Amino acid sequence: MSAVTGTVRNGVDTQQMYATLDLIKDQPELARFRFRASNRWVDGAHNRSTIQGFYGAGQEDASRAQPFELEAGEPPVLLGMNTGPNPVEYVLHALAACLTISIVYVAAARKVTLTSVESTVAGELDARGAFGLSDAVRNGFERISVSFRVTGEASEDKLREVVERAKARSAVYDIVTNGVPVSLEVAVG
């Protein structure tokens, strides 16, 4: 963890943060982002996504010289070979990662220096849904529980405030709790 260095707090350049906020206030269209992933089936449960470019801040981003590659799979008990985390585990990771980044950014903006942020996320599901064995249970998680431990140079109340604000502003927390309309297009051949 970095401490405060110049305008950097919690590893976040707060000067750049304020400049970004000012810029978006002036030109709201710069806040439009379009993220994307390409996925290809390998074999069985094994598949791989490639993530590199995205549109945002008024242009196609070119900051990533190399793509990120993410492997997915299933454990043997779900008919796979552990070629990667399974998709619902990736959702738990996305949620933990987003809340963590939100906590770190909100703390930086509020001049709170953090020393640690740790979390565990757990999701429960009944596989009869996804296996098509029961219409009485849903396919996905019935519930998710998140547990954070945050330490820093601020009062407990202030740290709790930071977490509350982060939760209120997290993109993935919003996606997972409120859902998103998804359109699906299929080409076959």
**Does residue number 15 form part of the binding site for a copy of itself (CB under 8 A)?**
no
Q: Which of 6, 63, 113, 153 binds a copy of itself (CB under 8 A)?
A: 63
Residues of 53-75 as b/e, b for ≥16 C-beta within 10 angstroms? Answer: eeeebeeeeeeeeeeeeeebbbe
Residues in binding contact with a copy of itself, number by CB under 8 A = 132
The DSSP secondary-structure symbol of 5 reads: B
C-alpha to C-alpha distance for 66 and 72, rounded to whole angstroms: 19
Residue 162 neighbours by CB under 8 Å, 6+ apart? 103, 106, 107, 110, 112, 150, 154
* Binding flag, residue 38, a copy of itself (CB under 8 A): yes
Residues 130-159 that bind a copy of itself (CB under 8 A): 130-134, 138-151, 156, 159
Sign of torsion, CA 134 140 145 147? positive
Residue 111 CB, nearest approach to a copy of itself (Å): 16
Residue whose CB is less far from a copy of itself, 36 or 111 = 36
Residue 7 in contact with a copy of itself, rule: CB under 8 A: no
Interacting residue with a copy of itself among 4, 7, 60, 61 (CB under 8 A): 61
Q: Which of 4, 39, 60, 111: binder of a copy of itself (CB under 8 A)?
A: 39
**Interaction with a copy of itself in 66-105: which residues (CB under 8 A)?**
68, 70, 72, 74-80, 82, 84-105
User: 130 CB contacts (<8 Å, ≥6 apart)?
Assistant: 139, 140
From residue 24, give the alpha-carbon distance in Å to each of 30, 33, 100: 6, 12, 23
Closer Cβ to a copy of itself, 111 or 134, answer by number: 134
Q: Does 5 bind a copy of itself (CB under 8 A)?
A: no
Which tokens belong to 91? Answer: 């959702």
Residue 12 sits in the site that holds a copy of itself (CB under 8 A): yes
Instruction: Enter the tokens of residue 51.
Output: 């993530």
- 167 near a copy of itself, judged by CB under 8 A: yes
CA 122 – CA 165 distance, rounded (Å):
22
Binding mask 104-133 for a copy of itself (x = CB under 8 A): xx--------x-xxxxxxxxxxxxxxxxxx
